[in-house]
Amino acid sequence: MAETGHPVLGVGLVGYAFMGAAHSHAWRTAPHVFDLPLRPAMAALCGRDAAAVAVAAERYGWAAAETDWRALIERDDVQLVDICTPGDLHAEIAVAALEAGKHVLCEKPLANTMAEAEAMTAAADRASARGVRAMTGFNYRRVPAIALARRLVADGRIGPLRHVRATYLQDWLADPAFPLTWRLQRERAGSGALGDLGAHIVDLAQYLAGEPVTGVSAVTATFVGERPLPGGPDGVTGPVTVDDAAVFIGRLRSGALATFEATRFAAGRKNQLRIELNGERGSLAFDLERLNELECYEQDRDSPADGFRRVLVTEPGHPYLTAWWPPGHVLGWDVTFTHQVRDLVQAIADDTDPAPSFRDGLQVQRVLAAVADSAAHEAGWTPVPAS
């Protein structure tokens, strides 16, 4: 038992780079912000480089370091495995952890292939019957403004949905001299901008609308086909085997239209995610570069000042805000992971399946696969298989 009297939930994290750092910060922070029913204990951090993972473990606040994820799963002080590796390792680690009775948090996209995502979901379903929980890490659901938007849509405030438009724009690959990383290799990443960025906006569109994408028509492009090998001799390059950008249209189950754009070649855009929903009676719009704001329009034809209004989502009655600062004291990108930890720990304590589940991650994977198929075969309209 921890000093608070709450049972301890031992956490093991696989991966210590960008996402590993973000998740570590969340595990450190969540129990200090929220009164959690279980107290997370940062038991062990895992990575292949013994020296580097030892340094990261000390820096991020983990009690121990491991170099083999199998050893991490076998630890008696680990009850939850958090997976922040490249996509090619997600399925193997997640299935092994679930079969060992460990709860799992897995970063998006759920896997590199449909077969892997289906195997992970089947393992999660089997584990759920034994009280073992699994969550897909779509952190943007935990932006307070996004959670508020979902509440407004569910309450019918904008009426039946007509159109969703979503973009996720970055520019870190615009320089052709940028080196070849694992994110540019299909065998490691599965896809490029489509899986890295497109997964987020597909999940947000389906989450906010409360319904799935049922079909797509897509194009993708790779603008720079060869890139310098990191640490290699000058002039030596390797092939880029993933997309640099993806653009597609879709239709939701209700018949509403959707448009999506994901690119890592939008010069000047560092991390701009924007989503807008248009309904029969109003609209909502969110921009990640204005993370604490939600644009709302509720139709009032009798008003001469009819138009969008800016809602600063920092009030105590807004999602997640009771634990943070006074109104107007804005939050940052990192809190999305802290909120993710809160929701996962609460679900485990309540003995309920968290959302987004692995099945939610599988649904996103179905859409991504349909996009890739449509683009590869110039197939026009490509149905998304029903779950």
pLDDT in tens, the chain (387 residues): 345 579 999 999 999 999 999 999 999 999 999 999 999 999 999 999 999 999 999 999 999 999 999 999 999 999 999 999 999 999 999 999 999 999 999 999 999 999 999 999 999 999 999 999 999 999 999 999 999 999 999 999 999 999 999 999 999 999 999 999 999 999 999 999 999 999 999 999 999 999 999 999 999 999 999 999 998 888 899 999 999 999 999 999 999 999 999 999 999 999 999 999 999 999 999 999 999 999 999 987 667 778 899 999 999 999 999 999 999 999 999 999 999 999 999 999 999 999 999 999 999 999 999 999 999 998 788 999 987
Q: Are residues 103 and 218 located together in one domain of the fold?
A: no
Q: Are residues 145 and 261 located together in one domain of the fold?
A: yes
The pLDDT of residue 233: 86
The pLDDT of residue 82: 99
Kindly tell me the sign of the dihedral angle through the C-alpha atoms of 249, 205, 340, 370. negative
The pLDDT of residue 386: 87
Q: Are residues 121 and 12 located together in one domain of the fold?
A: yes
Q: Are residues 100 and 164 located together in one domain of the fold?
A: no
Looking at residue 270, its amino acid is K
Last residue of a domain, one of 140, 163, 178: 140
- Cβ-in-10-Å burial (0-12, 13-18, 19+) of 119 comes to middle
Strand stretches in 127-244, DSSP E = 134-137, 161-169, 213-221, 226-228, 237-239
Domain count, the chain: 2
The pLDDT of residue 299: 85
Alpha helices by DSSP H, the chain: 18-33, 50-60, 69-74, 90-99, 114-128, 144-154, 186-189, 193, 199-209, 335-350, 358-377
Q: Are residues 120 and 221 located together in one domain of the fold?
A: no
Q: How far apart are the C-alpha atoms of 128 and 262, rounded to whole Å?
A: 33
- Cis peptide upstream of residue 356 (ω within 30 degrees of 0): yes
| Within-domain flag for 383 | no
Q: Which domain holds residue 319?
A: 141-333+362-377
Q: How far apart are the C-alpha atoms of 385 and 117, rounded to whole Å?
A: 14
| Within-domain flag for 355 | no
pTM above 0.85, yes or no: yes
Kindly tell me the sign of the dihedral angle through the C-alpha atoms of 113, 117, 119, 120. positive
Q: Are residues 149 and 246 located together in one domain of the fold?
A: yes
The pLDDT of residue 2: 41
Using an 8 Å Cβ cutoff, are 384 and 132 in contact? no
The pLDDT of residue 306: 80
Using an 8 Å Cβ cutoff, are 217 and 249 in contact? yes
Q: How far apart are the C-alpha atoms of 116 and 227, rounded to whole Å?
A: 28
Using an 8 Å Cβ cutoff, are 207 and 364 in contact? no
The enclosing domain of 315 has a CATH number of 3.30.360.10
Instruction: Give the residue from 215, 142, 196, 264 showing the smallest Cα distance to 381.
Output: 215
Q: Are residues 145 and 281 located together in one domain of the fold?
A: yes
Supply φ then ψ for residue 202, to 5 degrees: -65, -45
The pLDDT of residue 239: 97
Using an 8 Å Cβ cutoff, are 154 and 124 in contact? no
Q: Are residues 164 and 290 located together in one domain of the fold?
A: yes
